[in-house]
Amino acid sequence: VLENGKNLKDQIMLHQAKTGLSIGKKNYQYALEQVLSALELLGEKPPQEVDLSKTVSHVIENLSRQIHEKENHSLLQPGHCTDKKTSDVMILLCDLIKISRLCKSKAYEEAATVRMMSICLDSGYTSQYSTSFAHYGAILMERALATDDLDLAKEGYRMGQISEKMARLKSLYGGHSLAIFHHYISHWRRTYRRSLGQILSIYNAQLESGDYFHIPFTTFTYVQYHLASGHNLSKLDDNLQLFDALYQDYKMDNHWTTQLPQRFVSNLLGETSDPFVLYGNTIEDQNARIDQMEKAGENDAVQLMHFLILFNSVLFHNPELSKSCLEKNQKGKRVIDLEALDNLLSVLHRYCFSSHNREKGGKKRVGGNYQPSTRSTARLV
C-alpha cells in the first residue's frame, strides 16, 4: 500500500518502514540511506559526508553565539512548536542520530544534532527538545576535552543541565536524553554516587516502556558509575547477571558491554584463576578473541577490554602489562580518562584491601535488590 502511495505522508512512512526493517536485519548503511531520503523529501538535505565536518564546525560557532545570548530561563521555557512538518523532521533527525551511531558515522550524528538544535532555537519545544540539548552538550564536552577549553566545557555542562530539567523520564525520548547526560556530561561536576540512583530510574523506566533499543546504553553507563562510585562489587555482580539475562532474552546488540564487565568483576572477586583474562580460560584464548574482534571491526569492545585489563594491571602491580594496554589504547586512538582511572583504582583498593569487605570462602551475596516486573524481567531497586 505504501509503495503505491503517491502523497508525501505515504512516502515518508515507506522510508520509515524500510528503516526499521533494515535496522532489524543490521543493514545499517541502507537504513541510513532511507532516513536521508525521507529527510530530503521534507526539504532537509545535509551536505555530502566528506563535507560535513567543516559544516558542523561552522554551525556550532553560530549556535554558540546564539545560545550564549540566551539565559537559562528562556531555554527552559520555549514556545511550543505547532508545525507538523517540523515535528516530522525532528523525529527523522533523531532516527538519523540513532542510525549514525550504529554505522559509526560521527559526521552524520553531529550534523543531525546541530540541525536539531537550530530547529529548537527557531521553532521552540518538540518532544525531542531535551534530546537535542543532551547530544549537543555531549558534542561540546567532547570538543572541550580535545582542546582543553574550559569555557566550552562549561557551556556543554549548561546544555546538559537544560536537557536534564526538560527531559520527562517516562517519555519516548526523555529517558535516553538523561542517559546521554550522565554518560558524557554530569560527572564533570557531580560525583558518580550522586547520579547512580537516577541511572537506575532511567533503566527501570525504559524496561517498563519496552525501550530495549536504548537499554544497553543505560546499563553500560550504570556499570561505569557503579564501579566509580565505590559500591559493593557483589551487588554489581548480581546486577550484571540480570543484565546478561536481559540481553540474551531480547537478543540485544553489543552483548560485550555486559559480558566484559561481568568477567572483570568476577576477577576482582577472586572467582577466576587469572585476573588479567577477560575472555576464555587463557591469555591465548583472549588474544585469539581480540584478533577476531579487530577483524570484525568491533573496536569499541577491544578498547574496553584493554581498558579493563589496564585497571587490573595497575591494581596487581604489573607495569609491563600496563604499558602494553596504554600503547594499544593509543594505537586505537582512544583517550584514557585518567580521572576515571584514578577514581576506580581508589575504589578497588578500598574494596580489595578492606577487612570489612573481604570474606573467606567466596563472595558476599546482597539480597533484596530486585522485585518482579510485569515483563518477566527484573527491576532494580
Cα 114 to Cα 127: distance, rounded to the nearest angstrom: 16
Residue 245 and residue 155 share a domain:
no
Choose the most confident range, by mean pLDDT, from 76-80, 146-150, 308-312. Answer: 76-80
In a domain, 68, yes or no: no
Query: If pLDDT is split at 50, 70 and 90, which confidence band does 373 have?
Result: very low
239 and 346 assigned to the same domain: yes
| 38 and 15 belong to one structural domain | yes
Average pLDDT of the chain is 84
Cell numbers that stand for 129 in this block: 527538545
Q: Which three cell numbers stand for residue 255?
A: 552483548
pLDDT value at 107 more than 70: yes
- Domain housing 17: 1-45+83-104
Question: Per-residue pLDDT averaged across 341-348, rounded?
Answer: 52
Alpha-carbon distance 220 to 229, whole Å?
A: 14
Q: Considering the domain boundaries, does residue 55 fall inside one? A: no
In a domain, 223, yes or no: yes
164/192 same-domain check: yes
Residues in the chain: 381
Label each residue of 292-347 as H, E or C.
Answer: HHHHCCCHHHHHHHHHHHHHHHHHCCCHHHHHHHHHHHHHCCCCCCHHHHHHHHHH
If asked whether residues 227 and 264 sit together in one domain, one would say no
Residues 223 and 308 in one domain: no
Inside any domain, residue 155 = yes
- Among the listed ranges 9-23, 170-184, 303-317, 339-353, which one has the minimum average pLDDT value? 339-353
CA torsion sign for 231, 159, 219, 106 is negative
Query: Which cell numbers in the block locate residue 220?
Result: 553500560
Residue 371 covered by a domain: no
How many folded domains does the chain comprise? 3
Tell which residue, 311, 306, 339, has the closest CA to residue 324: 306
- Model confidence at 344, in pLDDT bands (50, 70, 90)? low
Model confidence at 364: pLDDT above 90: no
Q: Domain for residue 345, yes or no?
A: yes
Q: In this predicted model, what pLDDT tens digit does every residue of 255-307 receive, in sequence order?
A: 888 999 999 999 989 999 999 999 999 999 999 999 998 888 888 888 888 88
pLDDT at position 104 is 84
- In three-state form (DSSP H/G/I as H, E/B as E, the rest C), the secondary structure along 124-135 is CECCCHHHHHHH
The predicted pLDDT at position 333 comes to 45
Q: Which residues contact 18 (CB under 8 A, 6 or more apart)?
A: 30, 31, 34
**Helices and strands (H and E) in the chain: how many:** 17, 2
CB neighbours of 105 closer than 8 A, spacing ≥ 6?
Answer: 32, 49
| Residues 226/196, Cβ–Cβ less than 8 Å | yes
pLDDT band at 321 (very low <50, low <70, confident <90, very high): confident
Whether 344 is covered by a domain: the verdict is yes
Are 175 and 226 contained in the same domain? yes
Q: How confident is the model at residue 311 (pLDDT cuts 50, 70, 90)?
A: confident
Note whether 18 and 34 are within 8 A (CB): yes
**Same domain? 226 vs 239:** no
DSSP 48: P
Here the cell at position 373 is 516486573
Identify the pLDDT of residue 310: 85
pLDDT tens digits, one per residue of 192-219: 889 999 999 999 999 999 898 899 999 9
CA distance 16 to 38: 8
Place of cell 548503511: 29
Residue 168 pLDDT > 60: yes
**Shared domain check, 304 and 342:** yes
Measured over the CA atoms of residue 170, residue 174, residue 180 and residue 182, the dihedral's sign is negative
Is residue 100 located within the same domain as residue 158?
no
Whether residue 335 sits in one domain with residue 292: yes
Single residue among 171, 204, 231 that ends a domain in this structure: 231
- Is the domain of 249 the same as that of 208? no
Q: Is residue 65 part of a domain?
A: no
